[in-house]
Amino acid sequence: MLCTAVSLFGYVFGERYRFRKSCLSKLSSFAKGCAETMRCSGADIFKIFKSSSDIGLPFLAELDRDTLKDKAKLAKLFISHGVWPDDAKIAADFFGKLGDGDIEAQKVHCGYYFGQFEELKAKAAKDCAEKVKLYCSLSVLCSIGIFIILI
């Protein structure tokens, strides 16, 4: 039992990295399609947020006028939904200024943050591959060690 639990620790630690990668991937997809959605639908950003649940960002529906004005509050909301603090800051910058300006300005804004999220996503993917492997190997080694000690 103890050995199995220790082996699982590695998987659990690794999951954080997988979640970060998936989160950044969703944010990146959102930033990529956002300006186009704005142009085509003409809908306000709150309607766009509400419809973003299908790309796996249901917490965007919680954003309101007051939260958007307060970057610290915005970052906190993202962190509470599992976004890593450093990524949450960038996401807060992105969402905080979303909607300011005409469609051309929005294209530039979304394009810039799409680049940022893609960069972070690439780093996260590299981290994920390395760290998940490391944690899993370590936990398996630990569980073998514990098994030997117990014998």
Partner 1 sequence: MTSDKKHEAVAAAADYLPQKLRELIKKLPGNICKNITEIRLRAGRPLGLTLSGENVFLSEKGSICYLLQHGLYTVDEAELKETFSNMCEHSVYAFSEHIKHGYIPLKNGCRAGLAASAVYENGKISNFCSISSINLRIAAEHIGSAEPLCGCFVGGLLIAGPPAVGKTTLLRDSVRLISDGIGTARRRVAVIDTRGEIAAVCGSTPTADIGALTDVISGCEKEVGIELALRTLAPQVIAFDEIGTVGEAKAATNGTLAGTDTLCTAHVGSAEELLTRPISKKLVLSGAVKHIAFIKALGSVPEIFETSALIADLKSRKECFNFA
Binding site for partner 1 (CB under 8 A): 38-39, 42-46, 65, 68-69, 98-103, 105-106
Minimum separation from the CB atom of position 40 to partner 1 (A):
12
Tokens encoding 11: 């998987």
Q: Which is nearer to partner 1, 6 or 48 (CB)?
A: 48
Q: Which is nearer to partner 1, 68 or 88 (CB)?
A: 68
Q: Which is nearer to partner 1, 96 or 125 (CB)?
A: 96
Minimum separation from the CB atom of position 101 to partner 1 (A):
5
Q: Which is nearer to partner 1, 54 or 100 (CB)?
A: 100
Q: DSSP per residue over the chain, as a string?
A: -HHHHHHHHHHHHHHHHHHHHHHHHHHHHHHHHHHHHHHHH---HHHHHHGGGGGT-GGGGG--HHHHH-HHHHHHHHHHTT--HHHHHHHHHHHHTTT-S-HHHHHHHHHHHHHHHHHHHHHHHHHHHHHHHHHHHHHHHHHHHHHHHH-
Minimum separation from the CB atom of position 103 to partner 1 (A):
5
Minimum separation from the CB atom of position 104 to partner 1 (A):
9
